[in-house]
Amino acid sequence: MTPSARLRWLAGSCERHFKWCWGAWALAFWGWLLSDGLGQRHLPVWLTLGLGGGALAAQAGVLAALGRKAAGVGGIGFMSVRARNGWILGAAAPSVLGCVVTWCFIWYAAQTRNADMPAHLYWTGFLFGVSLPFAVLLGGRWLRTHCGWPGWSLWAVASVALLPFWQLLLYALESAGSAQWRSTLGWGGAVVVFCVGLLWTLWVVETQTQRREESQRAGAAAGASQEQSACSFKITVTLALIAGFAGADRWYARRWGLGLAKMLAIAGSVWLSVRLKSPWPALLYATAAGWWLADLWLLTSGRYVAGGRRRVLASLSPEQARRSAVSPLEAMDHSAVRAPGHVASPFDLNAWYYGAHNQKLKQSLGALCGYSLLFLCILTVLSNLTGCQQIYELPAGGGKPFVPQKVQVIKQVIRKKFVVNPFSSILFNPPPIDQVRLQLEALTQHVYQAGQGEGQGAGFAGGTGLGMVRFIRLRYADGDWDQDMELNSDLNMLIWYAANTGHRTAPKPEVLSIAQLRTFPVGKSPPLVYLTGQRNLPLSPLEIETLRDYLLEKRGMLFADNGGSSGWHSQFFSLMNQVLPRVGPRPVPMDHPIHAGLVSIPIVAPHGGSTAYGWMIDGRLAAYYHPGDIGDAWADGHSGVSRGIWEASYRLGGNVMLYAHAEYSKWLQTQRKK
């Protein structure tokens, strides 16, 4: 049996035994929920025993009543489709409600990290959320046959399944430490959810409008043919507006070559942006806008050609369009029937706010604007509710805030010497004379582990099981903020830190704009950000305010590196006067913990002198300035400096990273005690 045949056989078995499969799923869900409430109690009692116990009792009562009802009529198969559908939905409603509420709680806990729950609980909750709609889809044929479900209902369930599946993938990427992929999937998933919701909104509006017109107008046959043509035009317009940049409208119109050309153009714009290191949304948006304007002009002028060289027109046949000078959008002027009186329903084209002209176009634009506004409001509320924009968490553990060093141990090597007079006639065993030689050995085992506080393994007492150390570089406009990035300077520093501390680190460094620091909530912000350059350092007043809020309110630390000019030195000090006007710079002494293990400050080139400066706030370094291009020493090849310089540069960078994370962990522990 081939794999595809096995899948078909499995799907057929699930459909034939849908009732038993659904019962097994409900039993597994309630068993997991109640076992946690009665045993480990990671979930709140109101969810496990309150909602869980109540819903389970309600489901048992509905099933008992259904059994009595079915027995009274000779079996469930003799019940009417409407009655059977109502009873089955009533029996399944408690399980569905319990699963939805539990999934929402797990999702909220995963986003806020306020609940101290193990990782397996998150995985189980997300998997149950994904399995619920898929369990319904597996029994789609049974539900359509025995319960009279319409065909669109299964498409609605599939659309709903996108949300838990999307969140499951986001959690998986977060657990794997792929922050950049998680961010990409987050934005991409939001766009997909928006598009799917918009399609459903337009479909509902169009369906309800058709029903109203069909109930009002005469001449059903002629009207039906025109309506079918209008639907084709509207679908094409919708696809061109939403996903026209990817060729969705051309694929629908059976113009395969143009659809493929659109997809290649978008892919080429992304590739070119990556090669040129330009902000990729600008080029992508320009390409998408060009396709969008071209399709809109073709549709409004009646020149949009589908497969078979036939034009896509609104409410007009091709012959009528050739004889008429009226454009397709003007054909959408009036509704089929003029209703008397004042009409306020948005599903009626005679509504007073649609006016007397272009009623269908106004209805579509109104639905688009209304849905977009609603989606934006929901997204804003969820972002403010959960703080789910971006989060930064420390790896859990403990240790001392010092990067371990190799320990030199003196070992005694004893060799025996015998001093004998070769001319003596007396034989005896002479006593040995110990020759002691001192030998130095480098031990690779650390005498302590790096971190802060008490915990199991190397890490921080204020961290979590999913936390990791990340290296974040700040991007700013009109400057060479990406200096040495192509030589893997940030990546090399991150690898050195992971190898010498044992902390869990991100697989790759990250780049954030200064404005993106606002997306991190208090208590979930990066402990350290890196800033470098050698030309201009122009920051807007909003970016200066963002940096000030990051250093003061979010307890972050700024690691600045002069990448190659005295001008950047003066610009940075001027910038810090604006960011922290009440705090002045002071030299950081060599006995400071941030200089542990160093004899002097490693300088690749003294662009800003040879003294490191710091800005102290409440006894901690809020900003550290290195004057001598330390990023060059991290880069591949180390810019030709000596081994002692680049090894000391790595150690200084590791000290700064560990110091920032240790101070942040102390502050988190203090906040939790309040």
Q: Helix/strand/coil (H, E, C) string of 398-441?
A: EEECCCCCCEEEEEEEEEEECCCCCCCCCCCCCCCEEEEEEEEE
Q: Look at residue 422 and tell me if it is in a domain.
A: no
CA separation for the pair 127, 29 (Å, rounded) = 11
Domain end (from 153, 177, 201): 177
Kindly tell me if the per-residue pLDDT of 387 is higher than 50: no
User: pLDDT digit string (tens) for 403-427?
Assistant: 776 544 444 445 555 455 555 554 4
- Decide which of 177, 208, 233 is a domain's last residue: 177
pLDDT of 522 higher than 60: yes
User: Is residue 499 included in any domain, yes or no?
Assistant: yes
> Is pLDDT at 300 greater than 80 in this prediction?
no
Residue 494, in any domain of the structure: yes
DSSP 8-state class, residue 469? B
Decide if 18 is inside a domain: yes
Domain assignment of residue 170, yes or no: yes
Q: Are strands 613-617 and 586-587 parallel, antiparallel or unpaired?
A: antiparallel
* Structural domain count of the chain: 2
Share of the chain above pLDDT 70, in %: 69
Q: Residues 190-195: what's their mean pLDDT?
A: 90
Any domain includes 193: no
pLDDT digits (tens, 9 = 90+) for 481-519: 888 888 999 999 999 999 999 899 988 999 988 888 888
Contact status, residue 210 vs residue 227, Cβ threshold 8 Å: yes
Q: Please check whether residue 125 lies inside any domain of the structure.
A: yes
Give one word for 247, left, alpha or beta, with left for phi > 0 and alpha for psi -120 to 50. left
User: In which band, very low, low, confident or very high, does the pLDDT at 324 lie, cut at 50, 70 and 90?
Assistant: very low
Q: Tell me how far apart the alpha carbons of residues 528 and 557 are, in angstroms, rounded to a whole number.
A: 5
The Cα–Cα gap between 420 and 430 comes to 7
Whether the predicted pLDDT of 573 surpasses 50: yes
Q: How crowded is residue 516: how many other Cβ atoms within 10 Å of its Cβ?
A: 17
d(CA 451, CA 507): 19
Could you tell me the two tokens for 28? 């597994």
- Confidence (pLDDT) at 288: 75
Q: Is residue 284 part of a domain?
A: no
Q: Given 177, 208, 232, which residue is the final one in a domain?
A: 177
Least confident of 105-114, 124-133, 259-268, 371-380: 105-114
What is the spatial distance between Cα 633 and Cα 641, in angstroms, rounded to a whole number?
7
Burial degree of 214 (CB within 10 A; 0-12, 13-18, 19+): middle
- 650: domain CATH number? 3.40.50.12140
pTM value is 0.50
Q: Looking at per-residue confidence, does 177 or 439 come out higher?
A: 177
Residue 537's domain comprises: 454-673
